[in-house]
Structure 1
Amino acid sequence: MRILDSIDDALIKESRQKQEFFWLDLSDPSKEQIEHLGALLGLHPLAVEDSVKFGQRAKLDTYGDTALLVLQGGVESEPEDENPHPLEEVHCHLSGDFIVTVHRNPYSELHDLREQFTRSNSPKTERYYVYKIVDVIVDSYFPMLADLDEQINDLEDAIVSGAGRRELEETFRLKRLLLRLRKAVVPMRDVFARQIEVITDLAGLEPDSHDYFRDIYDHLIRICDELDSYHEMVASCTDLYLSTVANKQGATSKQLAIIASIFLPLSFLTGFFGMNFSWEVGHVLVGPLAFFLLGLGTMVASACLMWWWFHHKGWTRADG
């Protein structure tokens, strides 16, 4: 198989004349380049228009002897970083003579696969090359899923340690990311579930190539299942955050209730001795000893008694 990374009219015409299967991988081509490529390879005008505009849902459109397969590949990022570009839309123009992949940004998975094909000396069938290209795009989600698993586990630990605004924002970010990934993967799963035979027939591949695409379908099912499980885990993080906040509020309310209960008898004592009855002033509150014993002493004793009672009931413990 011949591998190209730019539009070379002479090489493309030579490959088609010799019926040599080739792979052309284009990154961020211009509108004029795509239209020129469409005229060179005889692509359908609607397929050319889709590759010019991009922003397509995962789908498979067949046009005679050619087909347009639109896929959404995953773009891996480090777990601690927010990834503003988690998906890469890849247009695969399929035929029995060639496969053309078009994407807006440099895509490392396809670049690595090109180098792998270049180093390999063993000849492969056309169906294998098509399968491998599509399989690399689909399997690009697995590193992302591993990163998401670590992020969700770290988020759970952070919420248990102390739920704050940062953890809440991280929870909603993961929810939005998982929803975006699922919207990209589910249509691809549906395409491979319903139109596997269409790909093998109209792309000019061997009849048994549907076994390869069934393997891709199995990978897509696994990815969807993991995304669903991660979505449930993030939803449980939301419940954990709310329960943690409620526990904090309950602990704060308990502390305030204890303080208010301790000051309740103090307020009663100061109010009672502050009424200045003539008998009380003349017979009870006389001298400094009465001030320290009856005034301060009773307040200290009542506060100590209340604290002992709360401790005895277990209300002062963190898990009380």
Structure 2
Amino acid sequence: MSMVGGLRRMARLARRMRRVDLSHPARSPLGSTVVNCVGYRDGERLADAGGVAETVRHLRKHTGRGGFVWLGLHEPSEAEFEGVAELFGLHPLAVEDAVHAHQRPKLEQYGDVLFAVFKTVTYVEHERLTATSEVVDTGELMVFTGPDFVVTVRHGRHGSLGPLREALEARPEQLAQGPSAVLHALADHVVDEYLAVVDAVQDDIELVETEVFAPRTGTPPDPGRIYQLKRELLELKRATVPLARPLEALIARPPAVLDPAIRPYFRDVADHLARATEQINAFDGLIDSILQAHLAQVTVAQNEDMRKITAWAAIVAVPTMVCGIYGMNFAHMPELGWTYGYPLVLSVMATACLLLHRGFKRNGWL
């Protein structure tokens, strides 16, 4: 691995280590379905009112307009999500998608509730890329955005929203814009992770590219590693490419539930997504070129081996022919009774072999 690639990997690990702080109230172990339920008013976090239903009732009773609830869930079952759906009036079709997951990125509106699906991705660190290495791990994030609530449903072992919640709470002026600001922050967070993963995958591609085009010193590169990168890029493409249409819908035909002040910021998210998509497409084409170059190198190496084998076979054919002729056991053959016949034949065979070896060497066959 190059020094630059190693420094990039150390920086990624350091950033992830700084983001892990389980003492913050916005986080809980993955074994808990309800990760957090917090009420906000004018960008400020409200005191804990108890469970989910209590928090919602307290906010709607005492805060009036300008307040909202942010409920975070992790892989809830149908029974666990049933009460939440009833509390917020969520559409059954959206509830089914949120519970069972395995959805494409999309944006749907049910009355005054906006339902968005994002594919989350993370880069899987590895010491060495192999033909079976997992490079990209994907998950899903479903977001219900209503007039006074945001419900996030996360699927997968990564993509904790605790750091994002911390960042928003540190900027109350942004959080004061309501659920629309949370939706924008979530979309921006997901797309920024795309860019981070793309940069990390670039290191692996550069490493494979260097090995393919480096002077051959030992075992040739494993083509399975190139295919593995191709498969992982396909997984990354499935997460990023379908998201372009929902973002375009938010920009061109924004729903009424979206705050007009937030709408322009989705253009920036769409620009970042376009950059990530362009890089992924470029990497896809680059990997195809690397694979074709590797196969061409293998073909050239095989041709060189065949030329060497052919050259040596031609050299060996001369003494084989002479020995074959004089081994036919005829009674009357030239020079059989001559004293110098044997050394003369050996000299002729050696000279012919040396001339052939010199000719093949000059032409690059040996």
What is the TM-score of this pair, normalised by structure 2?
0.76
Aligned residues: 308
For residues 250 and 86 of structure 2, the distance between their equivalents in structure 1, rounded to whole angstroms, comes to 27
Aligned-pair CA distance for 1:197: 5.0
Contact 1:76 1:140 in 2 (8 A): no
1:218–1:109: structure 2 CA closer, same or farther, 3 Å change rule? farther
In terms of mean alpha carbon deviation, does 257-266 or 274-283 score higher?
A: 274-283
Name the residue aligned to 1:75. 122
For residues 255 and 141 of structure 1, the distance between their equivalents in structure 2, rounded to whole angstroms, comes to 49
1:304–1:40: structure 2 CA closer, same or farther, 3 Å change rule? same
SS at match of 1:280: coil
For residues 277 and 156 of structure 1, the distance between their equivalents in structure 2, rounded to whole angstroms, comes to 67
Q: 1:11 aligns with which of 52, 55, 58?
A: 55
SS at match of 2:247: helix
Question: C-alpha deviations, 1:88-114, integer Å up to 9, x for none?
Answer: 111000123121110123434523212
Name the residue aligned to 1:169. 224
For residues 156 and 121 of structure 1, the distance between their equivalents in structure 2, rounded to whole angstroms, comes to 43
Alignment of 1:226-305 (within 5 A): 226-275=279-328, 276-278=330-332, 280=334, 282-284=336-338, 286=339, 290-291=341-342, 293-305=343-355
Q: 2:103 aligns with which of 48, 56, 64?
A: 56
Alignment of 1:74-153 (within 5 A): 74-78=121-125, 80=128, 82-83=133-134, 86-118=137-169, 120=170, 122-124=172-174, 125-126=177-178, 127-153=180-206
For residues 37 and 246 of structure 1, the distance between their equivalents in structure 2, rounded to whole angstroms, comes to 61
Question: C-alpha deviations, 1:196-229, integer Å up to 9, x for none?
Answer: 3554x332x3213211111111111111111111
Name the residue aligned to 2:248. 193
Contact 2:308 2:365 in 1 (8 A): no
Aligned-pair CA distance for 1:231: 0.9
Aligned-pair CA distance for 1:134: 1.5
1:215–1:239: structure 2 CA closer, same or farther, 3 Å change rule? same
Aligned-pair CA distance for 1:296: 2.9
Contact 2:136 2:232 in 1 (8 A): no
Unaligned runs of 5+ in 2: 1-24, 27-34, 38-50
1:298–1:61: structure 2 CA closer, same or farther, 3 Å change rule? same
Aligned-pair CA distance for 1:129: 2.9
Aligned-pair CA distance for 1:84: 7.3
Contact 2:194 2:240 in 1 (8 A): no
1:198–1:269: structure 2 CA closer, same or farther, 3 Å change rule? same
Question: C-alpha deviations, 1:127-150, integer Å up to 9, x for none?
Answer: 433211211012111121112212
Aligned-pair CA distance for 1:312: 2.9
SS at match of 1:96: coil
SS at match of 1:89: strand
**Same amino acid, percent of matched pairs:** 26
1:271–1:197: structure 2 CA closer, same or farther, 3 Å change rule? closer
Aligned-pair CA distance for 1:85: 6.1
Name the residue aligned to 2:76. 29
What root-mean-square deviation, in Å, do the aligned CA atoms of Structure 1 and Structure 2 show?
A: 2.6
For residues 105 and 15 of structure 1, the distance between their equivalents in structure 2, rounded to whole angstroms, comes to 30
Contact 1:59 1:69 in 2 (8 A): yes
Contact 2:135 2:229 in 1 (8 A): no
1:213–1:282: structure 2 CA closer, same or farther, 3 Å change rule? closer
SS at match of 1:113: helix
Name the residue aligned to 2:361. 311
Name the residue aligned to 2:5. none
Q: 2:271 aligns with which of 206, 215, 218?
A: 218
> Which amino acid is 1:213 matched to?
F
For residues 238 and 291 of structure 2, the distance between their equivalents in structure 1, rounded to whole angstroms, comes to 21
More helix by share: 1
What is the TM-score of this pair, normalised by structure 1?
0.86
Question: C-alpha deviations, 1:61-99, integer Å up to 9, x for none?
Answer: 111111100111112212645227621111000123121
Unaligned runs of 5+ in 1: none
